[in-house]
Chain A
Amino acid sequence: MKYLYRTFLILFLFSMYTHTFAMSVSLVPNKATVSIGEEFYVDLIFNTENKNINGIETTLTYDSETVLFVRAENGQSFITHWIVSPIITSPGSISLSGITPNGFSGFLNSSEIYDRTGNISRLVFSPKKSGQSVIVVNRTLVTENDGEGTPATINPAQVVISIGVDIINSEYKLIDIHKPILSAEIVKDQNLYNGQMTLVFNAIDKDSGIEGIYIKKNKEWIRITNPYTLEAKTSRGILTVKAVDFSGNTATERFFLPGYGSFWFYIILATVVLGVLIGFRFLYKSYGKNKFKKII
C-alpha cells in the first residue's frame, strides 16, 4: 500500500509541476457594505496570466430589485475599441464586448512589478433596498492575439454586497482633470454605408470614461452613435464633433466635409478675402471716399 501512496504522491507532484495558471476575471468592489442611496462601484478585472489577448465579451447579472446600475466608467480600461460598451440589455443584465488592437498581456508599471491584470470596466451602482445583492460576471469569452482569434472561455465570478438599512444619498465621482481623446474620420465611399457620407469615431478618456459623443446641428448638440450617417448639407460643409466624459471635460474637433474643399482651401480662401478687405481699406484711407469710388 505504501508503494501505491508513493506512486500517487509522485503523480500528484507531477501534476502540480505541470499545472499552469488560467486566465480569470474577478469583481472588486470599493465597499463590501453600503447604505441605501450610497453609490459604490465594482471593478471588473481581468488577469491575463501572461497570455496575450485582444478581445473580450461577457455579460454581468445583478439583482435589479436591490441595486440600480448607474453607469459604466471605462477610463481605466485596457479595452480601447468597444463593440458594445457596457449597456443594460435586459433588467438586471449588462453586456459588453471590445478589443485591444495588437493585444494586451498586462501593464509595465514603473512603480510596481509587471502587472498581469487590467481593468475591463468600472460599474457604478446605487443601492435601492437593504439586504444582500449578488453581482455575477458570467462565462467570459476572450480571444488570443494570435491572428486567428483563438477563443478561450473564462469561468464566472461573483461578489456579494451587503446593503444596510440606513439611507445615505451620496454620488461616487472620480476626480477627472483630463480631456477625452477623440479620433474620428468621415468616410465617403460608394462601397461603404450605401455610399452615404458617414462619420466613424472612437473616444477614450483615461479617468471617468466617455459619457457620449455629440455633433452640432442647428446650434444644438445632438448625441450620436457609431457610425453616424451625415446629411448631405451639414452646417455648410463643417462638422463639429464633441466627446464628453463623465466629469464634463470635453474635446472638440472640426471636420471639413468631402466635396467642400480641404482645410487649407478654406484657410487660403479666408486669407485672400481678408487681404482684399485690408487692401480696400488701405485704398479708402489713402485716397479718400471720392477717389476710392473712382478707382473701384
Chain B
Amino acid sequence: MKRFVKSILGISTVLIVTGFLFSFTYAQYTESSNFKIENSLIGIMEGGISTSSSFQYISSSGQLESGQSDSTGFGSNAGFLYFPIATTPVVLTTAGNGAVLVSWTSSIGTLGNVTSYSVGVATLISGTYTYTNVGNVSSYNVTGLTNGTTFYFKVRSYVSGLIVSESTAVASTPTVSSSTTTTTGGTVGSSGSSSGASSSASVGVTTGATSPGGGTGRITFSGRAYPSSKVSILKDGTIVVTTIADPKADFSVSIDSLPNGNYNFSVYGQDSEDRKSTAYSFPVFISQSSTINIGGIFLSPTIDVDKSEVKKGENVAIFGQSVPDSEITISVHSNGEFFNKVKTDKSGVYLLNFDTTPLEIGGHNAKSKSAIDTEVSPFGATVGFKVGTESKKKEITSCTNLRGDLNCDGRVNLVDFSIMAYWYKNNKPPANVDLNNDSIISLIDFSIMAYNWTG
C-alpha cells in the first residue's frame, strides 16, 4: 500500500513537471548581433519596453533552471519576472499623548497579494522617513514622539518584500489631549496631498442636522479630478457640497458641523462633457470635535467610445479626460487584455484610436487609469463596444448613459430610487427600470443603481 501510494504520487509529480516543461518548450530563440536568449518566453502583462542605448527588451523572459545568465554586458535573472502594483492605502492618523495611532485600509494588489506594510515617520514632509516593518496589519501606534511637534507619516505596502504602493504624507501633532485625525489615500503615490489644492470650498451642514450637544466634527476632501470640473461630495447618498477644480484639476472642500456618528461620504467628478467619474466612498466615524482630512484622492479618468459597433479591423476611438499631462493606461478587455498608453493634453483630454484587428467578433469593454508623477488612479468605469461586420456611430440618446437614471435628469438619486422601489418584486417592470433585464426588480437592480448613484 505504502509503495503503491508512493508510486502514484511519484508518477503524478513526473506528469505535472513534464506538462509544465512542454508548455514552455515551444518557444524559439531570440537573438541580435549583441546577444542571444534561447527558448525565451515573451509575455506582455502590463508595462512597456525596457530599453537602453544599446538594446531594447520587451517584457520578460522565462528560464527553466535557476541561476543568472550573464555576460560582461548584461545579466538576466531566472524565473518569471512580475511587476505587481497596488492601490495606495487610505491612511488615518490619530494624535495622542506622545504618540500617534496610524491606521489604514488594505492595499489591493494586482499580480500579487499585499503581504506586509511599513509605517514611515519624518519631521519634514519631504523626509527623510524612517520606516518600521509592521507586518500584515492595519494599524500601528507610533510612540516616543514629542508633544507639540508636527510629524509626517506614510504607509508602504509590499508584495513579498517588493514595495508596491506608498501613501501620501499625513501630518499629525501629538499633544497631551487631542482628537485631530487626518486621512489620506485613494492613490498610489507619494507626493504631498495638500500641495496644489488651490480650488477650495467649505460648507456647514445645517438641514436637520444640528447638534444640541455632544460636539461636531469637520471633514476635508482634497485631490485630483479634471481641469475646471465640478466635484460633488455626497453624505449618506445626498449631495452636501460641490466645488470646482482648478485648471490643474486640483480640488479641496470641507464640511463642518457634523454631529457625531457614522457617515458614508462619497466623491465623484464630472468632466467638461458632463461624463461622470466612478464614485469613491469613504465611510468614516466622526467622533466628538474631530477633524478628518482625506487627501490624495485621485479620481479615475472618464471614458467613452465613438462607436457602439465597429467593423473588425477598423479603429474605435476611446477618449475621456483626466489630469493634464498625465499618462493614461487603457485596458481593452477581450479574451486577453490589451494595454495601451496615451498622454493627456493641457486640458486633460486623451484619445486613443484602437485598432480592432486583434479583437474577436463580439462584445468588449475598455477602462482607463491615470498616472502623474508617482500617483496612480484606480481604473474607472468600463465602456462597452461591439466588434462586428459594420461600424455604427454611438448614438446620443435623449436620456443619459447613466444606468439607474430612470427619469433621465442626468442624476441617479432619491427620485430614481423611489421609482425603482415602486416596481420592487413586481412583474413586468418597464424596460428602463429593469437594469439587468431579468423581468423583475430585485436587489441586483438596486445594486446597479447604488453603484451609479450621483445624489
Contact = CB atoms under 8 A, between A and B. Distances in A.
Contact of B287 (A99, A111, A114, A118): A111
Interface in B205-225: 207-214
A114 B138 contact: yes
Nearest to B140: A113
B91 to A, nearest CB: 10
Contact of B451 (A54, A105, A113): A54
A122 to B, nearest CB: 13
Interface string A95-110: 0010111111111111
Contact of A143 (B285, B292, B414, B443): B443
B444 A102 contact: no
B448 A182 contact: no
Given A185-B415, A226-B418, A178 B139 contact: no
A184 B209 CA distance: 15
A107 B6 contact: no
Contacts of A105: 105, 281, 283
A97 B421 CA distance: 11
B443 A97 contact: yes
B92 interface: yes
A147 B92 contact: no
A149 B419 contact: no
Contacts of A271: none
Interface centre among A52, A114, A193 (most CB of B within 10 A): A114
A227 B103 contact: no
B99 to A, nearest CB: 13
Interface string A166-188: 00000000000111111111010
A144 B214 CA distance: 35
Nearest to B406: A192
| Interface bracket on B | 35 or more
A110 B443 contact: no
A84 B442 CA distance: 12
Interface residues of A, number: 71
B414 A202 contact: yes
B129 interface: no
B418 A227 contact: yes
A80 interface: yes
Contacts of B264: 78, 80, 100-102, 104
Contacts of B268: 102
A152 to B, nearest CB: 11
A268 interface: no
A161 to B, nearest CB: 26
Contacts, number: 219
Contacts of A151: 443-444
A103 B281 contact: yes
B2 interface: yes
Interface in A29-56: 50, 52, 54-56
B258 to A, nearest CB: 10
Given A78-B262, A227-B418, A99 B447 contact: yes
Contacts of B212: 177-178
A181 B234 CA distance: 14
A104 B283 contact: yes
A121 B447 CA distance: 19
B417 A81 contact: yes
Contacts of B436: 148-149
A65 interface: no
B94 A201 contact: no
A140 B212 CA distance: 38
A113 B236 contact: no
B449 interface: yes
Interface string B422-455: 1010000000000110000001111111111101
A193 B406 CA distance: 12
A227 B422 contact: yes
Nearest to B236: A80
Contacts of B292: 108, 110
Nearest to B441: A83
B349 interface: no
Contact of A110 (B9, B94, B106): B94
Interface stretch (A1-9, A125-133, A211-219, A255-263): A1-9
26 contacts: A3-B9, A55-B444, A55-B450, A76-B262, A78-B283, A80-B264, A81-B417, A83-B421, A99-B417, A99-B446, A102-B264, A105-B105, A107-B285, A109-B285, A110-B285, A110-B290, A114-B105, A148-B448, A149-B445, A177-B213, A178-B212, A179-B209, A185-B415, A187-B407, A201-B414, A227-B421
Sorted nearest first, the 5 A-B pairs with minimum C-beta distance are: A149-B447, A251-B208, A143-B447, A101-B453, A149-B444
